Amino acid sequence: MGAGRTGRGTGWIAALLVLVAAAVPALVIAVGGFASLRGEAADRLLHNRAASIDPPRDVVILAVDTRTVNDWGQSLPLPRSAYADAIERLNDAGVRAIGIDVQFTEDSPDATEDRLLREAVKRSRLDLVLATSEVASRPSPGVEADTNVLGGSRTEGGDAFLRNTRARAAHSSFPLGDDGKIRRAVRSIDGLSTFAHALATAAGGPGVPAAGMLLDPVVPADRLVRRSLDDLIPLTRDGYLDDSRIPRAELRGKVVLIGATAVGPSGDTDQKLVAGSSDRVYGVEVQAMATATALAGAPLSSGGGLSWALAALAALLSAAAALRRRLAEQVGIVVGLGVLIPLIAWIAVHRGLLLDPILPWLVLAFGGGAGVVQRALEERRARAAARATLSRFVPPAVVDDLLRDGSDGRIAPQSETATVMFCDLRGYTALTAGLARPEGLVDVLDAYLGTVSRVVYGHGGTVVSFQGDGVMAAFGVPVHDAGAAAQAVQAARELLTVALPQLRAELAATLGEEPASGLALGIGIATGPVFAGTVGPPTRREYAVVGPTTNLAARLQARTKDEPGPVLVDDATAAAVMGESRAAAHTGVRTPEGPLTPVGPRDIRGLTRSIDCWTLAG
């Protein structure tokens, strides 16, 4: 609190605490923690990105949907002759490449169906990619794995058949993330090129990078360009293909994927969880996303290194805030960074960089949060210490006002017009001369000083100091009060008429009536400019009110020893009090202090001129 900089030792300890706390989530994430939370954040970013970009138009899905199955009059799988017809018609339509996400690794019930498909593959003038999830052998390094695509017990399949065609087998699987979602595509699995890589290169694209790539999903999946396979190979009522319904213009020059989106006989829809997608999608749709991503040159990259750099920056800024800032500023920095981190991630993903906002955000939450808690506890301790310090000088209400202004027990130096009062206990020496116990002197002083302090506080004054058996008080500082002079006079009146008799009675009960009756007060009051503020180190901080007005009040108090009355008030105080009295009388309000009585000019020690003095009216 107070200064904008913490103590050097405390500040560095707080900064170190922030860095240690910030390292906790970083270490947890480094070993795979918070995977689900990080995946969810990435999904939201990808979903937002996909909703703002145009879906790929160079990839078309021909879906083996319910309409196709119904038109061909049977459940899945379709007869292989249907795929043979599709290959023939896609060749005629002038597409760039064909990918069939259906596995043909075993004999079908009808040998004729197998023969028709194999012949269509042989005749294809286009590059053709056939999916499989099975690898027949483990190849030597640099050699593609063998498969049994278009093979079976009846005939030789795999590479022995495919090498004399424009077709190739490709692995249809994807690596899964820790949350079971597909997030990346790779170039090969088990030594066999992946479907997306093979199809993208067959279409003349760069394929999947050697290091793999992040899937750039199009969400929702129905934004992908798609037609029913029944539009390509529709049957007439007589069971013949209908050429009139082929969408040649929509297919020319496109990369075409064929795959099932209808429910198979086992009820399996082959749906998968994909990063950025709120719903499960069909396998052919995932292949289309991956192929489109590869054809676009893998535009989405991982910002793992930048995420760690952003986390480090968040930790350093939190540490810097703990080192130099107030609590409100520290909270502002933490909250501001908490808002800025997802904003940075949002901007980055729209520019093709997928940052992990959870890593820096957790670092900020742990580190910055620890710093804020530490500073809040520190300020709470400082506030308690400040309250204890200020309570020695000013009334409780003034303490609350000062603490609301952020004081840490220091009151800034101020030049102010104030009223200063000195109160001296007379008869103290005679009263304590016969005391056998030294503690008795302290008891008398405690009773007297406590009495004067209560009266001063009760009238809004500040107890500046105790000077032996004297008390210095000030009114109108540290909080300005236009009625300070009247409050000082009211306090003097109460000290003489109420507090002093009570003090005599209290001491008479313990010391005897005769010595207690000799107690008297001498009070001097002056109003004018003063310089006020706390001085000294935190361990011994005192409030000081200095200047000519203070000196005059002290000398007026000393002068009362030669006066018949116990109170002397300077003319500035009288003018202020009488002015308030006239103003109150004009409004019909009776003031409690009553008018002061002039006693004429008095010579004051140390001054070259006389001072017009006043005393309390009888």
pLDDT digits (tens, 9 = 90+) for 98-113: 999 999 988 888 889 9
Mind listing the pLDDT tens digit for each residue in 19-73?
888 899 999 998 888 888 988 899 889 888 888 888 888 999 999 988 888 888 7
Tokens of 96: 């760039």
Is residue 370's pLDDT more than 80?
Answer: yes
Query: Taking all residues of the chain, what is their mean pLDDT, rounded to a whole number?
Result: 84
pLDDT average, residue stretch 249-276: 79
Backbone angles phi, psi at 377, to 5 degrees: -65, -40
Distance CA 464, CA 345 (A): 58
Reference 61, options 235, 302, 199, 251; nearest CA is 251
3 has pLDDT over 60: no
Mean pLDDT of the region 149-154: 72
Q: What is residue 404's predicted lDDT score, i.e. its pLDDT?
A: 56
Whole-number pLDDT of residue 170: 93
Question: How many CB atoms are closer than 10 A to CB 17?
Answer: 17
pLDDT, one tens digit per residue, over 528-540 is 999 988 777 766 6
Residue 127, Ramachandran bin (φ over 0: left; ψ between -120 and 50: alpha; else beta)? beta
Q: Give yes or no for a contact between 461 and 395, defined as CB atoms under 8 angstroms apart.
A: yes
| Tokens encoding 585 | 């009388």
Q: Strand, helix or coil at 164?
A: coil
Span of 217-226, 325-334, 388-397, 578-587 with lowest mean pLDDT: 578-587
Instruction: List, as one string, the DSSP characters of 333-384.
Output: HHHHHHHHHHHHHHHHHTTTEE--SHHHHHHHHHHHHHHHHHHHHHHHHHHH
More confident residue, 382 or 376: 376
pLDDT, average across residues 367-379:
82
563-587 confidence digits (pLDDT tens): 989 999 999 999 999 886 554 444 4
Rounded percentage of the chain residues whose pLDDT exceeds 70 = 83
pLDDT of residue 526: 97
What's the residue count for the chain?
618
Q: Closest Cα to residue 333, out of 367, 373, 368?
A: 368
Q: What is the pLDDT of residue 425?
A: 92
- The model carries a pTM of 0.64
pLDDT of residue 438: 60
Instruction: Say if residues 399 and 385 touch (Cβ distance below 8 Å).
Output: no
Sign of CA dihedral 540, 545, 551, 555: negative
Q: Averaged over 405-432, what is the pLDDT?
A: 78
Instruction: Give the confidence band of 15 by pLDDT, cuts at 50, 70, 90.
Output: confident
* pLDDT recorded at residue 53: 81
Cβ–Cβ contacts within 10 Å for residue 160, how many? 11
Across 409-428, average pLDDT:
84
CB 144 within 8 Å of CB 219: no
CB 128 within 8 A of CB 161: no
pLDDT tier at 1 (50, 70, 90 boundaries)? very low
Write down the pLDDT at residue 267. 47
User: pLDDT (tens digit, 9 = 90+) per residue, 446-485?
Assistant: 889 999 999 998 998 989 888 888 999 999 988 888 899 9
| Alpha-carbon span 295 to 100, nearest angstrom | 17
Phi and psi based region of residue 124 (left: phi greater than 0; alpha: psi -120 to 50; beta: remaining): beta
pLDDT above 60: residue 287: yes
* Residue range 582-611, pLDDT digits in tens: 544 444 434 444 579 999 999 998 888 899
- CA–CA separation, 359 vs 39, rounded Å? 11
pLDDT score recorded for residue 217: 82
Domains recognised in the chain with CATH numbers? 8-37+302-389 (no CATH), 59-295 (no CATH), 396-616 (3.30.70.1230)
Distance separating alpha carbons of residues 449 and 392, to the nearest angstrom: 12
Least confident residue range of 122-136, 168-182, 249-263, 323-337: 323-337
- Give yes or no for residue 488 having a pLDDT over 90: yes
pLDDT band at 242 (very low <50, low <70, confident <90, very high): confident
Q: What DSSP designation does 495 have? A: I
Mean pLDDT of 405-426: 78
The more confident residue out of 47 and 541 is 47
Radius of gyration of the chain, Cα coordinates, nearest whole angstrom: 46
The residue among 358 and 582 whose pLDDT is bigger is: 358
Single-letter residue type at 79: P
For range 281-287, the mean pLDDT: 91
- State residue 186's pLDDT score: 96
Q: Is the pLDDT of residue 265 over 60?
A: no
β-bridge partners, 567: 523
- The rounded Cα 530 to chain-centroid distance in angstroms is 46
Q: Which of 33-37, 79-83, 398-402, 433-437 has the lowest mean pLDDT?
A: 398-402
Q: Which amino acid is at 163?
A: R
Amino acid, single-letter form, for residue 593: E
